[in-house]
Amino acid sequence: MKPIIIVNFKTYLEATGERALKLAEVCARVSEESGLSIVAAPQSADLHRVAQLTRAYAQHMDPITPGSHTGWMLPHALKQAGATGTLINHSERRLTLADIDACVHMARELELTSVVCTNNIATTRAAAALEPDYVAVEPPELIGTGIAVSRADPEVISGSVDAVRRVNPKVRVLCGAGISNADDLVAAIELGAHGVLLASGIVKAPDQEEALRALVSKV
């Protein structure tokens, strides 16, 4: 199975507004050239426009139903904006366990791919029991450091893969934090991950296209 690469645009200015569209085009081009699934995860304000250019996941959704919820992120709105999936419980946007469960269910109902983020093996195990499409393990202390989880903390990936296999082998495992080059990606895949979730290594690179092309060059 080909790996999936999710580029989280976070709230970096280099991936906001017009620059989000440029990065989305980069994702589309490199995905096309490499044959890999490269998914953009832009801010909600950019989601609709980004989704016209490439495959896009939302960064967050709230487990709410249509009605009076000012300022929240309605799953149906994400779907209608063109998202094909969503991150849930990113370490920069934590939810309660009950909310994560509700989000996974709502994503399934709306046919949105669900990616539940976790921070260690124990939370990965708990998240797998909720049956999302993916669990993405990201040790928060490595996020944004450029120190790749797949090299600095390989056990958290192999341990997560093992834990998820025992709980529900249909759930796929991603990893993230500090991933920025081809060797980091290859190491993650060799440890059993189905792909990676990454941000600063691509978004903050002087040449985003070159960085993304280099990332996938050894897969």
Query: Minimum Å distance from CB 104 to ligand G3P?
Result: 18
Question: Residue 102: which residues within 8 A CB-CB, separation 6 or more?
Answer: 63
Alpha carbon 185 to its chain's center: 14
Question: C-alpha dihedral over 153, 173, 194, 186, to 10 degrees?
Answer: 0
Residues 50 and 56 sit within 8 Å (Cβ to Cβ) = yes
Give 76 or 219: the residue with its C-beta nearer to ligand G3P.
219
Query: Minimum Å distance from CB 2 to ligand G3P?
Result: 20
| Residue 126, annotated as binding a ligand | no
Question: Residue 107: which residues within 8 A CB-CB, separation 6 or more?
Answer: 61, 75, 85, 86, 88, 113, 114, 132
Nearest residue by C-beta to ligand G3P? 200
Residues 47 and 82 sit within 8 Å (Cβ to Cβ) = yes
Query: Minimum Å distance from CB 141 to ligand G3P?
Result: 10
Residues that bind ligand G3P (CB under 6 A): 8, 90, 138, 143-144, 176-179, 197-201
Give 145 or 169: the residue with its C-beta nearer to ligand G3P.
145
Is residue 90 flagged as an active site residue?
A: yes
| Residue 119, annotated as binding a ligand | no
Give 76 or 141: the residue with its C-beta nearer to ligand G3P.
141
Is residue 25 flagged as an active site residue?
A: no
Residues 7 and 14 sit within 8 Å (Cβ to Cβ) = no
Closest CA to 137 of 75, 209, 126: 126
* Catalytic option among 25, 92, 138, 194: 138
Query: Minimum Å distance from CB 33 to ligand G3P?
Result: 22
Buried b vs exposed e over 126-144: b needs ≥16 C-beta within 10 Å?
bbbebbbbbbbbbbeebbe
| Residue 148, annotated as binding a ligand | no
| Residue 4, annotated as binding a ligand | no
Token pair 């949105």 in the structure block, residue: 112
| Residue 160, annotated as binding a ligand | no
Give 42 or 176: the residue with its C-beta nearer to ligand G3P.
176
User: Which residue positions form the known binding site for substrate?
Assistant: 8-10, 143, 178, 199-200
Residues annotated as part of the active site: 90, 138
User: Which residue positions form the known binding site?
Assistant: 8-10, 143, 178, 199-200
